[in-house]
Amino acid sequence: MAEIVMAKNAGFCFGVRRATETVERLLATRKGAGQYTCILGKLIHNPGYNAFLAEQGAKIIGEQEIDGYFDLAQKGADVCIVIRTHGIVRPVEEKLKQYAAACPRFTYCDCTCPYVKKIHKIAADHAEPTDGFLLIGAPDHPEVLSIMSYAGENSVVCENAEQLESILLEKKETFDGCMTLHMAAQTTQKLSEWKKCQKIIKKVYTNSKIFDTICGVTENRQTEAESISAASDGMIVIGGRDSSNTGKLFEVCKKHCPHTTLWVEDASEIDRSVLAQCTKIGITAGASTPDRIIEEVKKTMTEQENFAQLLESSMKTLNTGDTVVGVVTYVSNNEIHLDLGAKATGVITYDQITDDPSVKLTEMFKLGDEVEGFVIKVSDLDGIATLSKKRVDADKNREKVLATVDSGETLEGKVIEAVRGGVIVSVDSVHVFVPASMTGVPKDGDLHSIVGTNQKIKVIEVKGNRAYGSIRAVQREERKAKEAAFWAEIEEGKVYEGPVKSLTSYGAFVDLGGVDGMVHVSELSWKRIKNPAEVVKVGDVIRVFVKSVDKEAKRISLGYKTEDTDPWFIFNNQYQIGDVANVKIVSIMPFGAFAEIVDGVDGLIHISQIADRKLGTPAEVLEVGQMVDAKIVDINNETKKVSLSIRALLETEEEVEVEIVEEAAEEVADAE
């Protein structure tokens, strides 16, 4: 049995432990309805632990989802956003601060590692145009992205010493113009690489300022891993596949044990065949590895088993070209790993699973799923078999897709690429070429406009290994079916809503759902109009009814104006003889004045009914645009004419005044 050496500096560091304890405490106290605990990205690089948090109610969200949760908080939900140890970019943190100030139900908890916060401050303090800033780290790592959001314009990320030398040459003019060049490192940066970078920068820029920002725990962990791996003939490095510090540990250990260093996320991934001949095995773990997983690995390795016998009894041989079935043991956004019951672990990368860039492997697969793959390559040295699920799917689906040439069946696929002369549609992983003329995109239109969309197609021809399809053929069939259904259901009096497609001098054409009908200019308004544009414009959605239909000639006559909109109908519902209306003088004639009562209905105020005295012309007291009160003295519904009188109102006022005077006189007489 091999000797097991356990690293002392393994597992959660201070920052990670602080973050996990904080989140677990939040979840324990926030279990009611309408309470949301959201983590911006995965809290740590450990799928098992993140799954545990999800079971407890934590939601892992992206930056683009913050606005949605803020809306929930404004509606009464209790929302807490957790910033993980890597930190977040400055604009997002500012947004969280603003939202928290604006809504008391929206809070955030900053679990950024103190070491990372320190680098944020260094970057911000040296962001002036006269400063230069270099960060040694992985450009796409969340921690690096957050740090660089605080840096100034003269700032660059370098992944290693080799890249640093290139950057210093490329940016020589920029950095030479800086008063001081500052350099820091990602907290989990490999120590040996950091030392190389320091040596380079000191040689080129003697006035540079170097900040030692590698986490002390990380440094101790790497130093210890170096020592243990140098004295062992096998190593197990425990941590998430996307953990930067675990990756650095793996590199350190592999330097001394190139063929017998395993990177596992938990005990189930230990490939005992790799360690079968080892006599001394070291175990270390990244900063995101929970204690329980470290203990499980340690326990597994201390069990007395004969690795050689297990190897002989359970392992099978793999060959290129085989089709095999494996069980999913690991899923990330980039690849999945399969237990094939062989010496090699099956690996299927994203591009060998799907062509759809929107697919998330973490949603497509779960641990324990069985997946069939085609063996592309086997590397006994690395213990990896490269597989293709897409190849298996394509072989299975190709016959099914090609058979539709004869059946005429409609298929559905996703447009994955615009190429010269057309687009490629993926139908169940089978590529079908659709010529530009058959895409439904107008001539000289942009084929990229349909990339990423799902489309229904028909396979119309197969030449050799290439399948040709048509989107237009399906669109044409659907359009014909839609039109047939429309003509079968249309009838006089039926009401439709549709957009105005075009205007002519004699009417407006309205889309009723794939079929156009016309509203004659005389049907658009109760008032006399010269052009349809006076009432509607292209794009307006209007409500119309069928006046008549000729199914043989495919013609539809539509009505738009209704009794409800008839000005005379509106007038009669509002006024009657004897009512007083506030009217607008619209024209003056020698015999009187015409006044608008409601839109579309005018009344005549005869010259004799304008004033209580004789007038030579109505213009003596009235002018166009003037608003006056007038009494409705007559309504002729047959001729649709209205007679108005201002004088009637004046006489009434005089009579009232006379009555008041007479009553006053009587009161005076009684008093005497």
Query: What does the block give as tokens for 283?
Result: 């175990």
Report the CATH number at residue 156.
Answer: 3.40.1010.20
Locate tokens 């003269």: which residue?
154
pLDDT at 403 over 90: no
Residue 19 placed within a domain: no
Q: Which residue in the list 143, 224, 265, 523 is annotated as catalytic? A: 143
More confident residue, 479 or 235: 235
**What whole-number distance in Å separates Cα of residue 397 and Cα of residue 403?**
10
- pLDDT for 336: 92
- pLDDT for 316: 63
**What are the Cα distances from residue 576, in Å, to 524, 564, 572, 610?**
28, 18, 7, 20
**What are the Cα distances from residue 461, in Å, to 405, 458, 469, 470?**
6, 9, 7, 10
Q: Nearest to residue 187, comparing CAs of 218, 211, 156?
A: 218
Which helix H or strand E contains 547, and what residues bound it?
strand 541-550
Same-domain check for residues 321 and 343: yes
Residue 468 placed within a domain: no
Domain closes at, from 194, 214, 234: 214
- pLDDT for 311: 46
Which helix H or strand E contains 217, and what residues bound it?
helix 216-230
Residue 600 placed within a domain: yes
pTM: 0.43
Domain closes at, from 547, 562, 577: 562
Q: Nearest to residue 273, comparing CAs of 229, 305, 319, 225?
A: 305
- pLDDT for 656: 38
- The torsion of the CA quartet 606, 608, 612, 616, rounded to 10 degrees, works out to 100
pLDDT at 159 over 60: yes
Whole-number percent of the chain with pLDDT over 90: 39
How many other C-beta atoms lie within 10 A of the C-beta of residue 192? 14
- pLDDT for 477: 85
Same-domain check for residues 372 and 321: yes
Residue 442 placed within a domain: no
Same-domain check for residues 510 and 533: yes
Of the ranges 89-103, 609-623, 658-672, which is most confident? 89-103
The amino acid occupying position 418 is: A
Same-domain check for residues 556 and 573: no
What is the side-by-side order of every strand in the sheet holding 209-210? 155-158, 131-136, 180-185, 209-210
Same-domain check for residues 548 and 599: no
Residue 439 placed within a domain: no
**What are the Cα distances from residue 364, in Å, to 257, 318, 334, 388?**
35, 26, 12, 15
Catalytic, 335? Answer no
Partnered with residue 370 across adjacent β-strands are: 327
Alpha-carbon dihedral sign for residues 474, 475, 478, 480: negative
- Residue 296's Cα: distance from chain center in Å? 40
Residue 13 placed within a domain: no
Question: What is the tens place of the pLDDT at every residue in 362-394?
Answer: 999 998 899 999 999 988 777 789 999 988 887
Report the CATH number at residue 632.
Answer: 2.40.50.140
Strand, coil or helix: 1: coil
Same-domain check for residues 281 and 347: no
- pLDDT for 133: 94
Q: Nearest to residue 583, comparing CAs of 566, 569, 591, 571?
A: 571
Same-domain check for residues 251 and 319: no
The amino acid occupying position 441 is: V
Residue 406 placed within a domain: no
How many other C-beta atoms lie within 10 A of the C-beta of residue 317? 9
- pLDDT for 303: 66
Q: Nearest to residue 237, comparing CAs of 266, 215, 278?
A: 266
Domain of 632 in residue numbering reads as 567-652
**Do 249 and 289 touch, CB atoms closer than 8 A?**
no
Question: What is the tens place of the pLDDT at every residue in 165-220?
Answer: 999 998 888 888 888 899 999 988 888 889 999 999 999 898 899 998 888 777 88
Partnered with residue 501 across adjacent β-strands are: none
Locate tokens 């773990």: which residue?
285
Partnered with residue 487 across adjacent β-strands are: none
Same-domain check for residues 168 and 134: yes
Domain closes at, from 532, 562, 592: 562
**What whole-number distance in Å separates Cα of residue 283 and Cα of residue 275?**
12
**What whole-number distance in Å separates Cα of residue 71 and Cα of residue 265?**
37
Residue 249 placed within a domain: yes
Whole-number percent of the chain with pLDDT over 70: 94
More confident residue, 46 or 361: 361
Same-domain check for residues 326 and 308: no
Question: What is the tens place of the pLDDT at every residue in 582-624?
Answer: 999 999 999 999 999 988 888 999 999 999 888 889 998 899 9
Q: Is 64 exposed, middle or buried (0-12, 13-18, 19+ CB in 10 A)?
A: exposed
**Phi-psi bin for 571: left (phi > 0), alpha (psi -120 to 50), beta?**
alpha
Same-domain check for residues 158 and 182: yes
Question: What is the tens place of the pLDDT at every residue in 461-498?
Answer: 888 778 899 999 888 888 888 878 788 888 888 888 88
Same-domain check for residues 585 and 555: no
Report how many domains make up the chain: 5
Locate tokens 């992985």: which residue?
138
Query: What is the mean predicted confidence (pLDDT) over 116-137?
Result: 92
pLDDT at 305 over 60: no
Same-domain check for residues 542 and 597: no
What does residue 109 show for φ and ψ, rounded to 5 degrees? -120, 115
- pLDDT for 563: 67
